[in-house]
Chains A and B, each alone.
Chain A
Amino acid sequence: MENGRFGVYGGRYIPETLMSALYELEEAYAACQRDAAFQAELNRLLAEYAGRPSLLYYAANLTAEAGGANIYLKREDLNHTGSHKINNVLGQTLLAKRMGKTRVIAETGAGQHGVAAATAAALLGLECEVFMGKEDTERQALNVYRMRLLGAKVHAVTSGTMTLKDAVNETMREWTRRVSDTHYVLGSVMGPHPFPTMVRDFQSVIGREIRAQMLKAEGRLPDAVVACVGGGSNAIGAFYDFIGDASVRLIGCEAAGRGLDTERHAATVAKGSPGVFHGMKSLFCQDEFGQIAPVYSISAGLDYPGIGPEHAYLHESGRAVYVPVTDDEAVDAFERLSRSEGIIPAIESAHAVSYAIRLAKELGKGQNIAVCLSGRGDKDAAAIARYRGEDLCD
């Protein structure tokens, strides 16, 4: 990989004001990769603070219901703060501190990444400001309070569609205003180089653990690894260690919202086209004149019009496939996993669970599927109740 490219995708399409900061970040990150003390500190935090390794749980009841391949759940929901986001955030805040930064800023959609960033900032004594679309601050009011409780300042973004895309815009603008003491803790495998590579590296612990755990449980590699994809950080984390293993199918599940035949979806691979936005060349939902489309998903974390450049490349090369999952299907899976296993998944992760149930039947007995359960679903309970016509006061 040259200059942060994955095939034609990736790159560094960002205002000049930020270029020096990206070089500084790239150099500091390379130094930390070679630095045993940094790696030891990160591993200690992942183990003692985040609770890694996360479990690979054999979902016997769900497997029986699906009637086919064994379904294993990679329990990222059991990490501290309740999602895979902590893996990346611990890495980046440690790095920020190493670089002498005193302040971190972050975008967030559902609030998972914002909460994780606020948590790590509290732990490491960094100032933290989180940008969140106004619509999302309303959908996820509890997470806004959690971030405040952790000492972060939360800005409700009122520009554009007031969702994740606009939160990214505003965080980038803030970074250009104040770059010397501030690190932008980007939450997914997107944005300008080195973010897609660095975030992938911090998340790749997921796939390495799946490999070891599956080998222990079944004596062989999984036949398929399934994960939801917004920007795609939990998916690339789960996939990355298996890219060289041709026998392992890699499947990303994107948000089809109300359906691909409607305008209300966020299915970038199925309906998007190549473009350049948010610092990267990749695939985006957009119109014929390159205006970024307003996208939709029941899941705030998947409600994003692009996809990380490495996913665009894996799609183009055919190494990974990306499938659409609708709101309805995700909500069904959300309820099903709750009842059959006593595990309430994040609505984002429920997209992957839904497809895994379908795939289990298709693959048949004797095969093994690892599903990345990227987060827990407590945050979604009120929204899903609303979806089913029940209004809860939280």
Chain B
Amino acid sequence: MIKIREAFEGKKAFIAYLMAGDPGLAASAEYILTAQEAGADLIEIGIPFSDPIAEGEVIQAASVRALNAGTRLDGVFEMVASIKDRMRIPAVFMTYLNPVFVYGYDRFFARCAEIGISGAIIPDLPFEEQGEVKTVAAKYGVEIVTLVAPTSEKRAAEIARNAEGFIYLVSSMGVTGVRDEITADLPAIVSELRKSARVPIAVGFGISTPEQVKRVSAAADGVIVGSALVRVVAQYGTEAGRALFHTIEAMKGV
């Protein structure tokens, strides 16, 4: 299993989010490899969920497309397993807690370890509830990536001290999705977090342009781009490879 840490070594990490099963699992496998080729340093693989309460319209719609295409958790595992040997960068799952809980924590994280998934981002699992999941995930060497929001305030230090993998700093209020303005005072929040954090800090939610990537990367250790890539897949369907490659390349600002 490739450690999450490697994505941040000697560089600002570009983290690409893609929804598994959108528009189908075969296409997802191709697009994950495309993102790697285009220079992504870490891949976040979304597990589609019926009720993604932290997502904006773009990722909600991707979830619906994936589920309507018949994507099931077992299929997502198989898809990731099928490209395991070609992955040179770490990959993590982004999933709501219920699919993990229902599958069984032990069974889920054992499967993650088998197929080379290094971590999981679970947006409806705040710090206070992480204990039951972290202890099981740790048995299999899977790290639980925690989120920090502009509203975390006095809880942020405690969260940062206990963070694994990397800290996912939510850029601004609201759900995921493309925004014109990244409202939070990022440099101030990042430097405050660094006092307690032992892991890198990556910023996500609403980052969609090369300029935003550049600005956010300057302030933090990495940047997460989701909706802007999912929108490319939505537009081109099974033919999105080329456009995806160019989008990532442009954002990385090579």
Which A residues are within 8 Å of any B CB, using their own CB?
A: 3, 11-21, 159-160, 165-166, 169, 172-173, 176-179, 273-279, 281, 284, 286, 288-292
A373 to chain B, nearest CB (A): 32
Q: How far is the CA of A17 from the CA of B150 in the complex (A)?
A: 7
Task: Say whether A277 contacts B98, CB under 8 Å.
Answer: yes
Contact among B103, B147, B174 with A16 in the assembled complex (CB-CB below 8 Å):
B147
Check B125 against A19 for contact (C-beta < 8 Å): no
Contact A276 B97 (CB under 8 A): yes
B residues in contact (CB < 8 Å) with A = 49-51, 53-54, 56, 60, 67, 72-74, 97-103, 123-129, 146-153, 155, 159, 170, 173-175
Q: How far is the CA of A159 from the CA of B57 in the complex (A)?
A: 9
Residue of chain B at shortest CB distance from A19: B126
Q: How far is the CA of A177 from the CA of B179 in the complex (A)?
A: 12
Q: How far is the CB of B13 from chain A (nearest CB, A)?
A: 20
A13→B54 CA distance, assembly (Å): 12
Cα A393 to Cα B163 in complex, Å, equals 59
Evaluate contact between B153 and A176: CB separation under 8 angstroms: no
A sample of 13 inter-chain contacts (CB < 8 A) reads A13-B125, A15-B149, A16-B147, A16-B159, A17-B149, A18-B151, A176-B54, A177-B175, A278-B53, A288-B102, A289-B99, A290-B98, A290-B99
Cα A141 to Cα B205 in complex, Å, equals 36
Whether A16 lies near B102 (C-beta < 8 A) is: no
Q: Which of A19, A278, A290, A292 contacts B152 (CB 8 A)?
A: A19
Shortest 6 CB-CB contacts between residues of A and residues of B: A290-B102, A177-B174, A290-B99, A17-B149, A290-B98, A16-B147
Determine which of B50, B54, B151 lies in contact with A179 in the assembled complex, contact meaning CB atoms within 8 Å.
B151
Chain B residues within an 8 Å CB radius of A18: 151
Give, as a whole number of angstroms, the nearest-CB distance from A3 to chain B.
7
The residues of B that contact A16 with a CB separation of less than 8 Å are 123, 126-127, 146-149, 151-152, 159, 170
- Chain A residues near B127: list those with CB within 8 A: 16, 19
Instruction: Please give the distance in Å from B142's CB to the nearest CB on chain A.
Output: 18
Q: Which of A277, A278, A286, A292 has the most CB of B within 10 A?
A: A277
Report A288 CB to chain B, min CB distance, Å.
Answer: 7
Instruction: Collect the chain A residues with CB atoms within 8 Å of residue B175's CB.
Output: 173, 176-177
Instruction: Assess whether B124 is in contact with A13, with CB atoms less than 8 Å apart.
Output: yes
B177 to chain A, nearest CB (A): 10
A15-B126, A16-B149, A19-B126 are contacts. A277–B102 as well, Cβ < 8 Å?
A: no
Bound-state CA distance A20–B150 (Å) is 10
Is B124 a contact of A286 with CB atoms below 8 Å?
no
Shortest distance in angstroms between A293's beta carbon and chain B's nearest beta carbon?
A: 8
Chain A contacts of B98 at CB under 8 A? 275-277, 284, 286, 290, 292
Given A20-B152, A290-B100, A292-B51, 10 other A-B contacts at CB below 8 A? A13-B125, A15-B126, A20-B153, A173-B174, A176-B174, A176-B175, A276-B98, A290-B73, A290-B98, A291-B99
**Contact between chains at A179 and B123 (CB < 8 Å):** no
By beta carbon, the residue of chain B nearest A292 is B50
Q: Tell me the bound Cα distance from A159 to B98 in angstroms.
A: 19
Q: Considering the chains assembled together, what is the distance between the CA atoms of A289 and B51 in angstroms? A: 13
Inter-chain contact B126/A14, CB cutoff 8 Å:
yes
CB distance from B69 to the nearest CB of A (A): 13
Complex Cα gap A274–B147 (Å): 25
- Shortest CB-to-CB span from A78 to chain B, Å, is 36
Of B56, B67, B147, which is within 8 A of A15 by CB?
B147
Which residue of A166, A177, A275 is within 8 Å of B173 (Cβ)? Answer: A177
Are the C-beta atoms of B129 and A11 separated by less than 8 Å? yes
8 Å CB contact of A173 from B53, B126, B149: B53
Question: What's the Cα separation between A173 and B55 when bound, in Å?
Answer: 8
Query: Which residues on the B side are within 8 Å of A3 (C-beta)?
Result: 128
Taking the closest CB of chain B, its distance from the CB of A101, in whole angstroms, is: 15
Residue in A closest to B169 when the chains form the complex, CB atoms: A16
Residues of A within 8 A of B103 (CB): 289-290
Q: Are A277 and B155 in contact (CB under 8 A)?
A: no
What CA separation (Å) do A338 and B75 show in the bound complex?
53
Which B residue's beta carbon lies closest to that of A178? B173
Do A14 and B170 have beta carbons less than 8 Å apart?
A: no
Residues of chain B contacted by A290 (CB below 8 angstroms):
49, 73, 98-103
A107 shortest CB reach to chain B, Å: 12
**Which residues of B are found within 8 Å of A288, using beta-carbon distances?**
102
A103 CB to closest chain B CB (Å) equals: 14
CB contact under 8 A between A21 and B151, given known A165-B51, A172-B53, A290-B99? yes
